[in-house]
């Protein structure tokens, strides 16, 4: 996960001034009296550290919440900055790692903390694919392959934001024809909302005027014991998948759907993340741990695929993931290198957070047997994923 273009950031006084991720140009100083919210602090997050202008668009800190869940966002990258839910003792615990400023996100050596990902989440082999007889080339920004939309994927754009109520944030973005090499003007809408059953709901929509691949997701990094609480290796995991997609050394799928039976990828019964992660297994070596797509087996609950259940060993916080997608990428924080500082002051140490990205399968444009991610003009892309939180002691 290497960012190919250096970001130049200027911090002036209490205002964060971030440079465009696309051009080396200085941005304008936002109005010092932008909002009253700029002077407030909540969960040690100060809105003034997010109020700025990037690519001539206003960036801010946003909150959605109810009595049992609170989520902070920035529209720079459509990122979840933090997510607070009660642990088994009733203490509000931040289970999504992130930074305390736009400066922190823009300069992070890990580009994807909390971000809304697109146009195409995950990898495309060699940054090339064919569509309607034409070959397209997109930036090969990850070991010779394209990852999460190229150099300036959706994690670096400023989304237009609207809050119809205090429980909902609507983010929209038009990705212009040719952006990062992708065809067609793509209009994207992502609605984040919190529900009364302590869940965050993610609704993705898109339309296009040319055939184009689309695979949207969110790249929150979780530690259910709380940001900065140490390793995630003792988290307990169930993933409702009978198969996974093996990868080569560049983490590109081979095209096979491999049975999890008898492998370290069998999470159909609960295991800790660390139980098999150091096993002598070629796939674990290719990913330096878990960085693989699991093929969901159709376990249904409330009309949706049940993808996974994770439990924090110290907090007792349980996260259940439901989706309309056919797969989920489980990443065990294998490339975290203590190079970035989270909002609570802890470093992003090795395997101190995991990601769980609902998705279509990686490299789908080049894998004829994988479910297609091509969106055609006149069609509507719609998919929903839900991350629901409770504790092991809750009576459901």
Q: What are the tens digits of pLDDT across the range 155-205? A: 999 999 999 999 999 999 999 999 999 999 999 999 999 999 999 999 999
CATH top-level class for 59-396?
A: mainly beta
> What does the pLDDT average to over 133-141?
97
Give residue 74's pLDDT band: very low, low, confident or very high (50, 70, 90). very high
Question: Is the pLDDT assigned to residue 10 strictly greater than 90?
Answer: no
Q: In the predicted model, what is the mean pLDDT of residues 268-287?
A: 98
- Assess whether 357 carries a catalytic annotation: yes
Does the pLDDT of residue 260 top 50, yes or no?
A: yes
Percent of the chain exceeding pLDDT 70 equals 89
Catalytic residue, candidates 219, 235, 292, 360: 219
pLDDT average, residue stretch 263-292: 98
If DSSP codes are grouped into helix, strand and coil, which group holds residue 257?
Answer: coil
Mean of pLDDT values over 229-258: 98
Q: How far apart (Å, rounded) are the C-alpha atoms in residues 320 and 222? A: 12
Integer Cα distance of 332 and 356 in angstroms: 9
Give me the phi and psi of 352, to 5 degrees please. -105, 10
Contact 224, 319 (CB under 8 A): yes
Closest of 273, 313, 350 to residue 265, by C-alpha: 273
148 is catalytic: no
Provide the mean pLDDT of the chain. 91
Q: Where are the domains of the chain?
A: 59-396
| Nearest C-alpha neighbor of 59 from the set 71, 70, 47 | 47
Strand partners, 253: 247
CA nearest to 388, candidates 133, 195, 145, 111: 195
Mean pLDDT score, 69-91: 98
Could you say which of 110, 238, 320, 357 is catalytic? Answer: 357
pTM of the full structure: 0.91
Per-residue pLDDT reduced to its tens digit, 283-308: 999 999 999 999 999 999 989 999 99
State residue 294's pLDDT score.
98
Instruction: Look at residue 18 and tell me whether its pLDDT is greater than 70.
Output: no
Nearest to 59 by CA among 44, 49, 74: 74
Burial of 147 per CB tally in 10 Å (0-12, 13-18, 19+): buried
What is the pLDDT, as a whole number, of residue 135?
A: 98
pLDDT for the residue 40: 56
Residues pairing with 293 in the sheet: 245, 329
């Amino acid at each position: 996960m290497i960012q190919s273009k250096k970001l130049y950031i200027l911090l002036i006084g209490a205002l964060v001034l971030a440079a465009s991720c696309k051009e080396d140009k200085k941005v304008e100083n936002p109005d010092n009296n932008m909002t009253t919210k700029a002077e407030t602090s909540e969960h040690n997050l100060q809105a003034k550290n997010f109020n700025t202008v990037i690519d001539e668009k206003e960036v801010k800190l946003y909150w959605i919440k109810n009595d049992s869940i609170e989520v902070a966002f920035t529209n720079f990258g459509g990122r979840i900055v933090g997510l607070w839910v009660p642990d088994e003792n009733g203490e509000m615990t931040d289970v999504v790692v992130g930074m305390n400023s736009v400066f922190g996100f823009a300069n992070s050596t890990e580009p994807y903390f909390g971000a809304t990902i697109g146009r195409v989440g995950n990898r495309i082999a060699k940054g090339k694919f064919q569509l309607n007889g034409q070959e397209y080339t997109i930036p090969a920004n990850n070991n010779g392959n394209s990852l999460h939309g190229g150099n300036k994927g959706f994690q670096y754009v400023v989304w237009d934001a609207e809050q119809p109520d205090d429980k909902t944030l609507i983010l929209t973005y038009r990705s212009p024809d040719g952006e990062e090499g992708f065809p067609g003007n793509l209009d994207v809408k992502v609605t984040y909302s919190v529900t009364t059953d302590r869940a965050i709901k993610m609704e993705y929509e898109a339309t296009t005027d040319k055939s184009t691949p689309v695979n949207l997701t969110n790249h929150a990094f979780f530690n259910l014991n709380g940001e900065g609480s140490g390793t995630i290796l003792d988290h307990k995991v169930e993933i409702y998948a009978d198969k996974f997609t093996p990868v080569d050394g560049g983490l590109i799928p081979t095209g096979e759907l491999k049975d999890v039976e008898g492998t370290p990828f069998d999470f159909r019964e609960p295991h800790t993340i660390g139980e098999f992660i150091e096993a002598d297994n070629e796939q674990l070596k290719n990913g330096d741990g878990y960085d693989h797509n699991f093929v969901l087996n159709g376990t249904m609950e409330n009309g949706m695929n049940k993808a996974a259940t994770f439990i924090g060993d110290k907090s007792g916080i349980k996260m259940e993931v439901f989706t309309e997608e056919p797969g989920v990428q489980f990443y065990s924080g294998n490339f975290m290198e203590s190079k970035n500082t989270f909002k609570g002051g802890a470093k992003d140490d090795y395997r101190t957070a995991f990601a769980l990205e609902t998705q279509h399968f990686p490299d789908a444009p080049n894998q004829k047997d994988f479910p297609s991610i091509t969106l055609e003009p006149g069609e509507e892309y719609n998919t929903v994923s839900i991350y629901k939180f409770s504790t092991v002691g809750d009576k459901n």
